[in-house]
Structure 1
Amino acid sequence: MITLDQTAERVTLIAADCAELTATNATQFRRSILDLIEDGHSRIVIDLHQVTEVDSSGIGALVSLLKRIGMRGEMILCGMTEKVAQIFRLTRMDRIFPIQPDSAAALRALAA
């Protein structure tokens, strides 16, 4: 479901290893990342480059994660396909989430 990497700057890079972030797997995805947040990971980059489909459950899972991190950390999304980015624009979630084109840009944004 996810691949995990941590940088020297204590940023956790999570790659979503799924083609869809939908009702079928959003709860499991959210739980996996919530466990990391509860273990103290508070600066998170979620790379969505493999995700080609997202629905309201997937967006809801990401919103839940953003709320959990709250003011004590940061979360950036990156690597969205055009189709996923379009869904974020249509739902105006692109105004809620910090979004970068790729993981390198997201890591630079957190280092700034």
Structure 2
Amino acid sequence: MELQAKEHGDALVVTVIDDRIDAAVAIQFKDRMREISETPHQRVVVDMSRVDFLDSSGLGAVVSFMKYLGPERRLELAGLTPTVAKVFRLTRMDSVFTLHDSINGAVAPGATAA
């Protein structure tokens, strides 16, 4: 599971390089996200624009990471592809997560959810 992280203002931006978050990589995703987010940022924004497939294990890993961050830190998702966005809509997770159309919109000053 390849992830790239960089700071952008008050946010830690994590780009998922892989095109799938599924049962084969869900545990790796969760573990890598925990490692990357050890630095204290109020917001963690995950750029998922390269992810074409997300199964229930992948969704569970994203939810688990959100819980790991706790209530004092926010997890936001950006750039969901149509297939991944559909998973979030069907499971109603789109009402749980802050979603942005793009990573640029997520890190723009005064950014709000899409």
Q: Same fold (TM over 0.5)?
A: yes
User: What are the superposed Cα offsets for residues 48-67 of structure 1, whole Å, 9 maximum, x if unpaired?
Assistant: 00000000110001101111
Give 5+ residue unaligned stretches, structure 2: none
Query: Once the two structures are aligned, what percentage of the paired residues are identical?
Result: 32
Cα pair 1:47 1:77 within 8 Å, conserved? yes
Q: In the superposition, relative to structure 1, how do residues 91 and 74 fare at CA in structure 2: closer, same or farther (>3 Å)?
A: same
Whole-angstrom distance in 2 between the partners of 1:97 and 1:15: 17
Match of 1:3 in 2: 4
Q: CA deviation at 1:42?
A: 4.0
Whole-angstrom distance in 2 between the partners of 1:29 and 1:61: 7
AA partner of residue 3 (structure 2)? I
Cα pair 1:42 1:69 within 8 Å, conserved? no
Match of 1:74 in 2: 74
Q: In the superposition, relative to structure 1, how do residues 91 and 35 fare at CA in structure 2: closer, same or farther (>3 Å)?
A: same
Match of 1:102 in 2: 102
1:85 and 2:85 are equivalent in the alignment: yes
Whole-angstrom distance in 2 between the partners of 1:2 and 1:111: 23
Q: CA deviation at 1:36?
A: 2.5
- Deviating beyond 2 angstroms after TM superposition, the runs of 4 or more aligned structure 1 residues are 36-42, 108-112
Whole-angstrom distance in 2 between the partners of 1:38 and 1:50: 24
Give 5+ residue unaligned stretches, structure 1: none
User: What are the superposed Cα offsets for residues 76-110 of structure 1, whole Å, 9 maximum, x if unpaired?
Assistant: 10101111101110111101111000011111377
TM (normalized to structure 2)?
A: 0.88
- Number of aligned pairs? 111
Q: In the superposition, relative to structure 1, how do residues 109 and 25 fare at CA in structure 2: closer, same or farther (>3 Å)?
A: farther
State the secondary structure of the residue aligned to 1:72.
coil
State the secondary structure of the residue aligned to 1:15.
strand
Whole-angstrom distance in 2 between the partners of 1:108 and 1:99: 14
Q: In the superposition, relative to structure 1, how do residues 6 and 110 fare at CA in structure 2: closer, same or farther (>3 Å)?
A: farther
TM (normalized to structure 1)?
A: 0.90
Q: CA deviation at 1:13?
A: 0.5
